[in-house]
Amino acid sequence: MQEYKETVEEKNKVDSKTDDGRYKTLFEQVNAAAFLTSFEGQILEANQKSCELFGYEWNEILRLSLKDILPREIDWDQFKEEIAAKGGLKVETESITKDGSYIPAEISISLFMMSGKPVMFVLVWDITERKKAENKLRESEKKYRGLFEYTTDGTIVLDARGDILDVNTKICEMLDLTKDSLIGKNLFGMNILTATSLPVVVNQFEQLLSEKTAKSFTTEIINNQGTVLNVEISSFFLVRQDNEVDNFVLIIRDITMRNANEKKRIYEHGLLKTLMNNIPDSLYFKDEQSRFVLVNKAKASHSNVSPEEMIGKTDFDFLSEDQARKIFIDDQSIVQSGKHIINKEEKITYSDGSERWVSVTKIPWHNAEGDIIGTMGITRDITEWKKLKEKIGEELN
C-alpha cells in the first residue's frame, strides 16, 4: 500500500511538471501579451511579448498592475465585478504603453482558482492594423453611400432574380415611391416598366447575366403618378473576390427633359433653316476672325457661289481689298466693343463689276455663357429704293 502511494505521488509530480511545461510553452508562444495577475490586477507573471508590446523591461513589468495598462477612464471596481459575475471578460479598448501612448487593443480575461486563490489570465492583442483596416473600410463605405445617395441619377441594386436590394433617394423621387415600398419587391413584377420597356429590360438583364458585360440602353419607365419618363439605363454587375457575380446595379437617368429640349432644338433649327433659305435678305454668321460660319442662299448668290463654298472664307475672298477691309474693321469693332451697327448704308462692288446699295445691320454673336464669339448680320439690298430716292430728288430740284 505504501509503495502504491509513493508511486501515485511520483506520478503526480511528473504530471505537474508536464503541465507546467505545457503552460510555460503556451504562455511564451501565444501571439499576444500574456499576464497572470491577482484578482486585484497585480501582475504575477508576464511573457516576452508583453515587454515588446508595452515597452517595459522585464523587472519593470512585474511591478505593474493591470490597472497601469488600462485606460484611466475604466472604473476598476465595476470592471472586477463584471469579471467576477461572468467568470471572465473580452473587450475592445485601448492600452497604455510605457511612453504614455495608447494602442488599440483587444483584451481577454479569464478568472480561475490557483492554489485556492482567484487569479486572472489576461491576453492583450494589438489590433492597430485591424482598426486601420476597419476605418479604411468605414471610410470607403461612407464614400460609397455618399455617392450612392447624392448622385443625380437613380440607382437600383438587384439580386440575380431581380429582387430590389437597395435604392437611392433619386430613384424614389423619380418614381414618387418610398424606399420601403421598393426594397424587397421584384423589379419585373412592379408597374415601373411599361409594355414597351419590360421586354427590353428583361432582354438586357438576361444578356448581362450571360455575357457579364456592362450595357446601356434607352427606354421608358412609369412613375406612381402614371407619368411616362424617358430614361437612359446603364447596367453592370458587382463581383465578389472569387469573381462570382454578386449583385446587379441599374443606373437610371431621366432624359425626358433632354428629349424635349432636343425636339425643341430640332424644331427651332427647322424654323431657322426655313428662314435662311427663303428670306430675300442676306443672312450670315461670322466667327471672331470674320470667317463665315453660316450663310443663306441670298448671301451666297450675290457672290455667285453656293452657301457651302463661303464657309470658312472671309469678305476678302469675294470683295475688293478696300471694301473687305472696311467690313472687317466694322466686324472687329463689334467683337471688341459689343456695340451694334443698325441700318448702315453701303455701296458694294462685286467681283463681276456690278454695284449695289445695301443697308447693313450687325450685332454681336454670343455663346451660351454670354461671351462674344463673332457677329451676326443681315444685309438688305436697297438699290432700287436708292434709285427711286435719287429720282424724286432730281424731280424736286
Instruction: Check whether 5 has a pLDDT greater than 60.
Output: no
CA–CA distance, 287 with 336 (Å, rounded to integer): 12
What is the distance, to the nearest Å, from the Cα of residue 363 to the centroid of all Cα atoms in its chain? Answer: 42
Backbone angles phi, psi at 112, to 5 degrees: -150, 170
- Per-residue pLDDT tens over the stretch 170-224: 999 999 999 999 999 998 888 888 888 888 888 877 777 776 666 778 889 999 9
CA–CA distance, 381 with 282 (Å, rounded to integer): 8
pLDDT of 20: 52
pLDDT of 290: 94
User: Range with the lowest mean pLDDT among 71-75, 141-145, 272-276, 313-317?
Assistant: 141-145
CA–CA distance, 397 with 391 (Å, rounded to integer): 10
What SS3 string covers the chain?
CHHHHHHHHHHHHHHHHHHHHHHHHHHHHCCCEEEEEECCCEEEEECHHHHHHHCCCHHHHCCCEHHHHCCCCCCHHHHHHHHHHHCEEEEEEEEECCCCCEEEEEEEEEEEEECCEEEEEEEEEECHHHHHHHHHHHHHHHHHHHHHHHCCCEEEEECCCCEEEEECHHHHHHHCCCCCCCCCCEHHHCCCECCCHHHHHHHHHHHHHHHCCCEEEEEEEECCCCCEEEEEEEEEEEECCCCCEEEEEEEEEECHHHHHHHHHHHHHHHHHHHHHHHCCCEEEEEECCCCEEEECHHHHHCCCCCHHHHCCCCHHHCECHHHHHHHHHHHHHHHHHCCCEEEEEEEEEECCCCEEEEEEEEEEEECCCCCEEEEEEEEEECHHHHHHHHHHHHHHC
Going across the sheet that includes 341-349, the strands are 292-295, 282-287, 372-381, 355-366, 341-349
| CB-based contacts of 137, cutoff 8 Å, min separation 6 | none
User: Range with the lowest mean pLDDT among 34-38, 85-89, 258-262, 333-337?
Assistant: 258-262
Q: How confident is the model at residue 99 (pLDDT cuts 50, 70, 90)?
A: very high
**Exposure on the CB side of residue 78, measured as CA atoms within 13 A:** 3
- Which domains are assigned to the chain? 21-130 (3.30.450.20), 151-259 (3.30.450.20), 279-393 (3.30.450.20)
Going across the sheet that includes 33-38, the strands are 43-46, 33-38, 117-126, 102-114, 88-96
Instruction: Check whether 362 has a pLDDT greater than 80.
Output: yes
pLDDT higher at 103 or 201: 103
pLDDT of 247: 79
pLDDT higher at 89 or 1: 89
**pTM of the full structure:** 0.45
CA–CA distance, 246 with 265 (Å, rounded to integer): 43
